[in-house]
Every structure is written in C-alpha cells, then in structure tokens.
Amino acid sequence: MSVSHLSEEKNQSSMTMLAGGALGVVFGDIGTSPLYTLKTVLSLSGDAPTPDVILGLLSLIFWALVIVTSLKYAMFAMRIDNHGEGGILALMALLVRKKSQRPIVIFAALFGAALIYGDGAITPAISVLSALEGLKIILPESKPFILPGTVAILVTLFAIQPLGTARIAKVFGPVMGLWFATIAALGIWGIAQYPSVLMALNPLYGIRFLFSNGIVSFMVLGGVFLCVTGAEALYADMGHFGKKPIWIAWFAIVFPSLLLNYAGQAALILSGADISQNIFFRLCPPIMQIPLVILATLATIIASQAIISGAFSMTRQAIQLGWLPRLHIKQTTEESYGQIYIGPINGLLMSATVFLAVFFKSSDSLAAAYGIAVSLTMIMTSGLLFVSMREVWRWSLPLSLLVAGIFTLVDLSFLIANMAKVQDGGYIPLLLATAVYVVMLIWHRGAVAVAAAINEKTVPVVDFMADISTREIPRIPGTAVFLTRTQYGTPAVMKWHVKRNGSLHEHVLALSIVIDNIPRVDPSERLTVEKLNPGFWRATALYGFMERPNIPLLLRYPEIQLCNLDLDEVTYYMGHEVIVKREGGSGLPAWQRNAFAMMVRNSAHVTDYYYLPSDQVVGINRMVPI
C-alpha cells in the first residue's frame, strides 16, 4: 500500500472522528429542537389544524433549516473565517483587522455576542424540561416531579463544571449519534403512516400558509424559528473541528435526521394522532418510551454542556480582545485548550437558567420567551456577513446586497414574529444581553481611557536613563521585568519604582503583551526584542485572541536568552491602577468610571492570568485619572 494511500486513509479516519465529535458539541442545541418545535408551532397555529395547515407548517420548518442553517451558516458564514476560527467575535476581529472599525460593526458583533449569553441561559432550561415532560405520557402522576427534577439536573450540570468534562466528553459524540439515529428512525416510522406528508418539501405549501390567515399565520414564524436555534454553533465551533467535519456531520447525519423526524411528527398528526400531548414522544412505541425519555434527557444535557462550554470560550475571546475584565480561567485538562472553566460565568448562567426554569415552569411557557435573542443575533451576523462580502471577498455592492439581503429578510421576519414574545418573558434574555453589552462597553472605554492617561506623560528611555545616571541612582544586581501597556517610552511602573525605591536593577526588561485580531500567532513571530540602552531591553510579545500568555515560558525564548538576563532571580513589577476622577470634568461619566473601577478591583490578578510566580511579583499602586 502506497504512502499517499495510507495518508489518505488516516485523513479520512481523522475526518470521521472529528465529524463524530461535532455531533456532541456543535449540534446538541439544534439536534434537540424536535422535542418542542412542532408542539409550539401547533399551539400558535390555532385549534384543529387541517392537512393544509400541517403541510404548510412542515414546509416552513424544512425551508427554515435549508435557508438559515444550510445556506447562511454552513455555506456562507463558515467560508468567512478568521484563520480557521468562526463565531461573531472572531468575525468582528477579522473585520477590525481589515480596518472596518466602524461603530456599527463593533456594536453588531458585541451585542450579538451578548445575546448569545441570553440564549445560553434559556437553552438548557427548555431542553431539559422538554425531555423530562415526556414522562407525563408514560406516568401522568410524575407531573409534580418534572420541574424539581429539571432543577436538580441543571444544578448538578453546572456544579460539575469545575471538574471538567474531558473524560465524559468522549461519549458525547456516540450518544448524540444514537440520538440522531433514533429520531431518524422514529421519523421514518411516522412517515410510513402518512407518506404524502413529504409533499411539504414543496415551498408553495409554506408560502400558501403564510398568506392564508393574516397576522396569525405570520406570527407562527416565531415557533418555526425554534427549529434553527443552535445554528450559530456551526459557525462558532468551526475552530474546534474545522469546516469539513461540521459539513459532513450536518449534511450526512443531522440535517436528514431532523427532516425525517419533523416529517414523521407531521405525518402522525395527519394520520389522526392525539396532539394534546407532546407529539415527539407519540412517535415512539409505548414499550420504548422510557428509554427514549432517558436518551432525550442525556441529549439535552449534552446540548446544555455545549452551550456552557461555548459561553466559556466566548468569554475568553472577549477578555483577550479587551472587551471584558480579566476573569480567573481554569484549564480543566491539559489535553484540550477548549476545556476551561470560568467561575463567575458558570455561576451567573446557573442562576439565570434555574430562575428561568422555575419562573416559566414548563417548556411551553419557556418557548414563548425563546428565540428573540437568537433571532437578533442572527440579524447581527447577517449584517456582518454583508460587510465581509464587501471587504473580505470584495464582492460587488449589488451581489452583496442580494445575498445578505435575502438572509436579513428571513431573519427579520423571524424577529418580527418573535417580538410578540417580549411581553411573555422574551424581555428576560434581552435584559441579560443588554447588561452584558453594557459591561463590555464600560470595560473597553475604561481600558482605553487608562491607556491614554498612562501614555500622556511618557518619557523617552534615553532621557530617563540619562537622568538616572545624572542623579547617580544606584543600579543594583539582579533582573527586573516591568509589565507595561506602552510599547514606547519608559514604562510608568518603572518610573514609580525608581521614584519610590531610589534604585534600579542592573538588567531591565520592559515587556508588553499585545493581543492581535487573529486566533493564534506563529511562534516565530511571537517576540520582538530590542536593546534601547545598556542593561535595558524592550520586548513585545504578540498573541492571538485564542491564546493565553505565559510569561515565564515566554522568557525562555531564544530572543530573551540573548539578553543575558538572570531568569532564576527575576523580579516582576506591575502597576495596579487606582481609578480616580479626572480633573476638569473631561473624563468618563461618573457612573461609568465607578463601574469600571469596581471591575478593576474585582478582576483576576495579573499574576494568575499570566502564570507568574506570586513570590517574585511586586505590585505598585498608581492613581490613574480617567
């Protein structure tokens, strides 16, 4: 067997494994939507749906999956990647790198990201509730225990996050593979009861339904939209698995399974089945309903885990890009960079998720609030796709308007239909998203103001070192590393050190950490070092927004070794900002300044964030007016 053939087989095997892994991470949310979507759509369409209504609803679901998930996300969005990474923040970073720093681009990306947190809170609640509600069909007396059981599962799920999910994550793919095989088989059995249901693939049935009953028909789109919640994950998780494995999993397994199941549910209704209870579980023979409830519960737990992990990953991106304060990030396993835990995010998501489950009590009620945050995110993504078509792909204006306009029109239709949900609880994820967006904005504005204040009084290194020599400031043995934001002039923390201690180390390194708008930086381009004065070097380290700087490891780079620094006896100096009011009233508004100061006080210490040995770190407080 040739080497090329062996390599091809190895690549195919790797692709298959990645596609299987994507089933458990990427498609958990959209894959469990059959549990509640058609049930919700039926409740919105009115009493005693006719065959034309059923076919129209199924047609709308089918074409929503085609246009939103298959075309918009799989075929267009996933082709606009930031060095292999996807997601709304990665897309924003790409556009910023392309000099598209218009406020509307920043707003669309940040608010879209904030809305994902709202979705992240409601998805686990509705998924687990809808799975356990299947027990009501088997054991009607179990109804009082469904909500407590849901809360118990959710609390347990969030409680185990600090332990990591590396070990159990290996079974996510096989379990979800079994889930998709099961729902496909159930769908086929349902279609066999009424094969003519497949006529709904004709889009005319959906169009006819939309224009059949005025505003009532249009508002049904709010329920139809539930079938595509989770489509953002195809794009957001692209960096973990790659385009091709996600495409294989979607087009070969997930998409056909979803279509078969939705068609099977619709066929069962057309054959005269009772729709007073969840039609999804009615597809299953009574003897297999308990195993199906167990499998559905496992699938919704996996879907919830994917949402939580996605929130952690997006938070890390936002921190690295300078839009959120530093938070303590725990790497739960060394095997995978994506296996992380962020305590504050976990706590907030758990509180919001449990509150939503208790507040709404049932998946039907939750469905009334679900979708508005996701539909807004999708509109933001469509807007960014338009900018990308123009500035990344260099498409003409008419072509970009045509393609992005179609996606935006579909998203806008879903959003308008979902707006009716605001008063029914849809305001909750919107309020959560707004709070996250405000935090992002305040942190970024404060960080920019601090950087500007520090750079205002920068002294050239040559002048500062000459002044030290003139004043005969002693140079003591040892090596000092001054962490600084500025990439030019004398680090402010070094000036304060000399002023307070009256001395300076014999060997000095001014180190700046810069986060670029790409996911990862080539190690060969990581570090630049220059000698500015005898015994004084400046180093700039470049990292991507998917990387976490490790300063002790960085100092082992060959470029640093050439500086003859004594790294065994190094002392790290860093400034701790104490935020104060800027004189003259030209600074930030008081409420923003106070909020930013609170975030600074409560953010993770730089020592932990950069892996610095705490017994070698000296912190210097400094008053920074903003």
pLDDT tens track for 373-409: 889 999 999 999 999 999 999 999 999 999 999 999 9
In this prediction, residue 64 carries a pLDDT of: 96
pLDDT over 70 for what percent of the chain? 96
**Predicted confidence band at 8 (pLDDT cuts at 50, 70, 90)?**
low
Q: Does residue 3 carry a pLDDT above 50?
A: no
Answer whether 115's CB lies under 8 Å from 375's CB: no
**Predicted confidence band at 84 (pLDDT cuts at 50, 70, 90)?**
confident
* Tokens, residue 550: 């490790």
Q: Does residue 436 carry a pLDDT above 50?
A: yes
**Predicted confidence band at 47 (pLDDT cuts at 50, 70, 90)?**
low
Signed CA dihedral, 209, 123, 276, 261: sign only: positive
Q: For 278-296, what is the mean pLDDT? A: 90
**Predicted confidence band at 296 (pLDDT cuts at 50, 70, 90)?**
very high
Q: Does residue 602 carry a pLDDT above 80?
A: yes
Q: Does residue 6 carry a pLDDT above 70?
A: no
In this prediction, residue 138 carries a pLDDT of: 83
Alpha-helical runs (H) found in 133-231: 135-138, 143-159, 166-169, 172-193, 203-210, 214-219, 221-224
Beta partners for residue 513, in sequence order: 541
Structural domains of the chain, with CATH: 21-106+119-371 (1.20.1740.10), 456-625 (no CATH)
Q: For 85-98, what is the mean pLDDT? A: 87
> CA 112 to CA 375: how far, in whole Å?
10
Answer whether 176's CB lies under 8 Å from 27's CB: yes
Q: Kindly report, residue by residue over 104-125, the tens digit of the pLDDT.
A: 888 999 999 998 888 888 889 9
Look over the chain and give the mean of its residue pLDDT values, rounded to a whole number: 88
**Predicted confidence band at 2 (pLDDT cuts at 50, 70, 90)?**
very low
Q: Tell me if residue 5 falls in helix, strand or coil.
A: helix
Q: Does residue 4 carry a pLDDT above 50?
A: no
Alpha-helical runs (H) found in 194-270: 203-210, 214-219, 221-224, 232-236, 238-241, 243-249, 255-270
**Predicted confidence band at 605 (pLDDT cuts at 50, 70, 90)?**
confident
**Predicted confidence band at 559 (pLDDT cuts at 50, 70, 90)?**
confident
Q: Does residue 251 carry a pLDDT above 80?
A: yes
In SS3 terms, 499-536 reads as HHHCCEEEEEEEEEEEECCCCCCCHHHCEEEEEEECCE
In this prediction, residue 337 carries a pLDDT of: 62
In this prediction, residue 409 carries a pLDDT of: 95
Q: Does residue 526 carry a pLDDT above 50?
A: yes
What type of residue is 439? V
Answer whether 137's CB lies under 8 Å from 289's CB: yes
> CA 356 to CA 169: how far, in whole Å?
26
Separation in Å, CA 168 to CA 175, 329, 372, 455: 11, 21, 32, 49
Signed CA dihedral, 8, 12, 13, 14: sign only: positive
Q: Kindly report, residue by residue over 446-493, the tens digit of the pLDDT.
A: 998 988 887 777 788 889 999 998 998 998 988 999 999 887 888 888
In this prediction, residue 388 carries a pLDDT of: 93
Q: Kindly report, residue by residue over 137-154, the tens digit of the pLDDT.
A: 888 888 899 999 999 999
**Predicted confidence band at 428 (pLDDT cuts at 50, 70, 90)?**
confident
Model pTM? 0.85
In this prediction, residue 274 carries a pLDDT of: 75
Describe the crossing of helices 255-270 and 172-193 by its angle, rounded to 10 degrees.
30
